[in-house]
Amino acid sequence: MGNCESRELVAQAKQNKIINTELDKAKKTDENIIKLLLLGAGESGKSTVLKQMKIIHNSGFSQEEISNKRNVVCANTVQAMGALLDGMKQLQFDFSTRVCNAHEKLIRETLNDKAEYGPFSDAMFNALTELWADKGVQCAYDKREFFYLHDSAKYFFDAIARVHTPNYVPTENDILHTRVPTMGVIEVNFTIKGKFFRVFDVGGQRSQRKKWIHCFDDAKAMIYVASLSEYDQVLLEDNTTNRMHESIQLFKQVINNKYFVNTSVILFLNKIDLFEEKIVTKKRSLGIAFESFSGPSQDLNAAVAFVEKKYRSMAENKEKNIYCHHTCATDTQQVQYVLDAVLDTILSTKLKGCGLY
């Protein structure tokens, strides 16, 4: 991981320490403060949801934040190409042009050096552009379900020329697609209808999960973000466990935890766009992950309903309300609509009896 991402992780660690201190001091919150917990397995899209909250309700990103994201965009692009080349090797595909061997060497050296990834040099720009255009690389990309590749890879590959321009400034959409693993706790605050919301995003990788429970037993609501599109993928941490199975088990642990008995649960079944592509276009049946899925195999609605039922069945208390939404976290307009509905639900009088406020 490059220095640009390392700086982000160091900043996260400092902020995490501050937040933990505040949480210890303020276990009992004022009635006008609503604490929301954003949970989910790694790469579910929960940090993207938090970024959307920042854009929609907290005046977006500062100029400093936008400037810092340029290197992250470059890093994500180079790292994604490295992962794609690994997948190509795994599948035993060959380049269609010999020059790509030299391009691969540059990518490998850059990743091994862990240096700054951006701005792109002309050599790096040419390497990324010609590798992405190579037929062998494209064949590997079409088989990406067989190896790890971040969801935003194509987005950044298609933006290589734009990112290489001298005056490039990351757009909000670029920032929404960036990926830096959440280490510890990240907080976003905003006020709606006289209520002060404190939203906490905590690390989704296995190593981060033990930090969740004791800090957030007074959360008024929990938003659990689950990726629909991961039914045919395995965890980055162990490369064997099915990602959707892992997420469902994590949801089971959280929803039945004694600390969250009175916490309302909002379930975001995220990445519906990628899920539709796999189910309908690529014809990859949900039966890959669940033998009990009876189809129809290319029916998006049937597949979504099956997954939603799986998550709901994890609640030991069958009367517990679980408010479910199907989302695409990178679609600001859709997320704004969903978040407005969620926040209205949290503030509604009919949920006062559930301990919301």
Cβ contacts of 188 within 8 Å, gap of 6 or more: 50, 53, 54, 58, 199, 201
Q: Are strands 185-192 and 195-202 parallel, antiparallel or unpaired?
A: antiparallel
- Which pLDDT does position 72 carry in this prediction? 93
- Which pLDDT does position 349 carry in this prediction? 41
Between 257 and 115, name the one with better pLDDT. Answer: 257
Helices 122-133 and 63-90, packing angle to 10 deg: 50
pLDDT bucket at 356, cuts 50 / 70 / 90: very low
Identify the helix (H) or strand (E) that includes residue 334.
helix 332-347
110 has a pLDDT exceeding 60? yes
- DSSP state for residue 121 in the 8-state scheme: P
pLDDT bucket at 31, cuts 50 / 70 / 90: low
* Residue 136 labeled ligand binder: no
**The domain at 63-177 falls in which architecture?**
Orthogonal Bundle (1.10)
- What pLDDT digit, counting tens, does each position of 304-330 carry? 999 999 999 999 998 888 999 999 999
* Residue 44 labeled ligand binder: yes
Domain boundaries defined on the chain: 63-177, 223-343
State the Cα–Cα distance between residues 217 and 262, nearest whole angstrom.
9
State the Cα–Cα distance between residues 304 and 308, nearest whole angstrom.
6
Furthest CA-CA distance within the chain: 67
Q: How many helices (H) and strands (E) does the chain have?
A: 13, 6
* Residue 329 labeled ligand binder: yes
Cβ contacts of 350 within 8 Å, gap of 6 or more: none
- Which pLDDT does position 19 carry in this prediction? 60
With H, G, I as helix, E, B as strand and everything else as coil, classify residue 207: helix
Please indicate whether the domains covering 63-177 and 223-343 agree at the CATH topology level. Answer: no
**Over pLDDT 90: what percentage of the chain?**
54
With H, G, I as helix, E, B as strand and everything else as coil, classify residue 68: helix
**Over pLDDT 70: what percentage of the chain?**
83
| Burial grade of 311 (CB within 10 A; 0-12, 13-18, 19 or more) | buried
The upper half-sphere exposure of residue 156, i.e. CA atoms within 13 Å in the direction of its Cβ, equals: 28
- Which pLDDT does position 351 carry in this prediction? 47
* Residue 340 labeled ligand binder: no
Report the catalytic residues: 43, 48, 179, 201, 205
pLDDT bucket at 5, cuts 50 / 70 / 90: low
pLDDT bucket at 24, cuts 50 / 70 / 90: low
**The domain at 223-343 falls in which architecture?**
3-Layer(aba) Sandwich (3.40)
With H, G, I as helix, E, B as strand and everything else as coil, classify residue 162: helix
Identify the helix (H) or strand (E) that includes residue 223.
strand 221-227
- Which pLDDT does position 9 carry in this prediction? 61
* Residue 203 labeled ligand binder: no
